[in-house]
Amino acid sequence: MTVLGRHSAQEVAQLAERAIDAIAATLGDKSHLMGARACGAGATVFAILLGRLNRTFETPIRPTVEQRSKLAAYCDQMLRQYYREFAETRTVAA
């Protein structure tokens, strides 16, 4: 069992993959999560994804996010648009 209680590590990974797939499906081909403009939900998703893509922390979820290239590209876009000082030194897309 894990910290999440009744789920095994494998089940937690499967749930995470389903969540990542749902985010990718919601983003689709849009420039922002909910459409043409940034919103609070998009900012929250950006923060979560960026944390998973950050190589400072080991996480079994990182490969799942990295395999969805649109999600890494979304993070890069948000970094360039809102955090230029970080975007110049860090790119998350492969």
pLDDT (tens digit, 9 = 90+) per residue, 14-44? 999 999 999 999 999 999 999 989 999 999 9
Q: How far apart are CA 79 and CA 62, in angstroms?
A: 18
SS3 content of the chain, % helix, strand, coil (to 5): 60, 5, 35
Q: How far apart are CA 84 and CA 94, in angstroms?
A: 19
Q: Let me know how long the chain is.
A: 94
pLDDT of residue 93: 56
Coil/strand/helix, residue 35: strand
Q: Which of 42, 9, 43 is nearest to 27 (CA)?
A: 42
Q: How far apart are CA 93 and CA 53, in angstroms?
A: 9
User: Is the pLDDT score of 61 beyond 80?
Assistant: yes
